[in-house]
Amino acid sequence: MSRRFNIRVSDDVAEHVEKVAKEINRRGGNGTISQVARRLMEEGLRSIEGREPETNTTERGTAFEQRIYTEINVALWDGEVEHLHPAKGERRPDIRGPFFDVECKTGKRPSTRQALQQAREACKEGQTPIAVIEDEDREPFVVIDWRSFLAMWRAVYELSVFAEDLPSRLNHVEEE
């Protein structure tokens, strides 16, 4: 069974369909504009049906921010940590804690450079900007300026001189 649809398309789409039909005919096939349009619609619908429903990127980003905020709160249980909930376009970090302003990014392949740049631009004076990135639901990682990392490394090294168990504690943060 088939049904008839009368649809309007933009000139660009119509030109593209005509071009495909001409190419099919040039190669010895027999393709009318209607057949090509029908086939493109069928293929498009098949690809849409096969996809998983997309989740709202804003919701996913908010959930990721909340997860990072919770993990920071657990690790720094006695520190002051704020989830700032910046409005779209507002220059504030997602999370502010002792020493660090945190920009959170999640998605298929978030740009580490853009995330760190956004963290730098939103960072309060006296804070260190970092970006926490989750790439395709993998374990999150942190992006930080090189000089800031060296300063942290030096501080950890100096602490280790006074706290012999510090190296073993670095990889074991308290969990909920």
Domain ranges of the chain: 11-50, 57-144
- For residue 53, name the pLDDT band (cuts at 50, 70, 90): low
Secondary-structure percent of the chain, ordered helix, strand, coil, rounded to 5? 50, 15, 40
**Domain 57-144 sits in CATH 3.40.50.720:** no
CA atoms of 79 and 73, how far apart (whole Å): 8
Question: For 130-163, how does the pLDDT look when each residue is reduced to its tens digit (9 = 90+)?
Answer: 999 998 878 999 999 999 999 999 988 888 777 7
126: left (phi over 0), alpha (psi -120 to 50) or beta: left
User: Structure pTM?
Assistant: 0.61
pLDDT of residue 68: 95
Query: CB count, 10 Å around CB of 7?
Result: 7
- For residue 124, name the pLDDT band (cuts at 50, 70, 90): very high
Q: Which residue has the higher pLDDT, 161 or 83?
A: 83
pLDDT of residue 118: 92
